[in-house]
Amino acid sequence: MPLFRRRRTTGPTDEPDPVDTLPLSDLLLQGEDMIERLATAHRDRWGLGSGATWAVDQTTATITWTFPDTRVHAPVQILATYAPGPGSWRWAWANPSITPALRSAAEQLRDWGLRRGHDAFTTPDLSVDETTAATLVALAVRVTRATGFYRGSGGTVPYLTFGDVTIEHADGRVEPFRVSVGT
């Protein structure tokens, strides 16, 4: 064997990560599809988006939805915040009011943007409309392989991803729930 020949390995490390090779248009379509499938799975299983109160605890990096007879919680990441009035978008990695534990998905996305040369993911603050905000989120969900997505409410809207869910019923039952939509 020649001295400087690169040793070939086998397994998944041989394949380039699709988020680094697929065209942006393909990633966008996949991200939009993922958001739709994630929303449907979470809505159908435990009622995501059905009027529960919700809160993010930055100390524990957890989001909790509270229903009359159920509490649902999951690990959470904040992607960005968006103020619709002025069209102001700020990535979580650039927001000092968001704790580092809640910014890792946004940092992963920024690093991906640096590798791919996409300034929209490496510029801290952007001026965008609702359609562009939705596009950024779809790409973020795809690139970070999120298993849950939530758009908060309020004057400044947080865009969040979340992990495996724990459903706590009033009768004491506790159920884990995991969504895998694949890409």
Pick from 58, 99, 51: which is nearest to 75 by CA? 58
Burial class (CB in 10 A: 0-12, 13-18, 19+), 146: buried
Residue range 115-133, pLDDT digits in tens:
999 999 999 999 999 999 9
Pick from 72, 75, 74, 104: which is nearest to 91 by CA? 104
Distance (Å, rounded) from C-alpha 20 to C-alpha 27? 10
Burial class (CB in 10 A: 0-12, 13-18, 19+), 168: middle
Residue range 56-80, pLDDT digits in tens:
999 999 999 999 999 999 999 999 9
Residue 13 lies in a domain: no
- Would you place residue 3 in the very low, low, confident or very high pLDDT band (cuts 50, 70, 90)? very low
pLDDT at 21: 87
Query: Would the pLDDT of 1 be above 60?
Result: no
Q: pLDDT averaged over the chain?
A: 89
Pick from 86, 80, 104: which is nearest to 158 by CA? 80
- Per the structure, how many domains does the chain have? 1
Residue 7 lies in a domain: no
Residue 1 lies in a domain: no
pLDDT at 52: 75
Torsion sign (Cα): 10, 16, 17, 18: negative
Token duo for residue 106: 């946004």
Residue 178 lies in a domain: no
Residue 43 lies in a domain: yes
Expressed as residue numbers, the domain containing 67 is: 22-169
- Would you place residue 180 in the very low, low, confident or very high pLDDT band (cuts 50, 70, 90)? confident
Block residue for tokens 């562009």? 132
Residue 12 lies in a domain: no
Whole-prediction pTM: 0.87
Residue 29 lies in a domain: yes
Residue 61 contacts residue 101 (beta carbons within 8 Å): yes
Residue 180 lies in a domain: no
- Would you place residue 51 in the very low, low, confident or very high pLDDT band (cuts 50, 70, 90)? confident
Pick from 125, 123, 142, 145: which is nearest to 134 by CA? 142
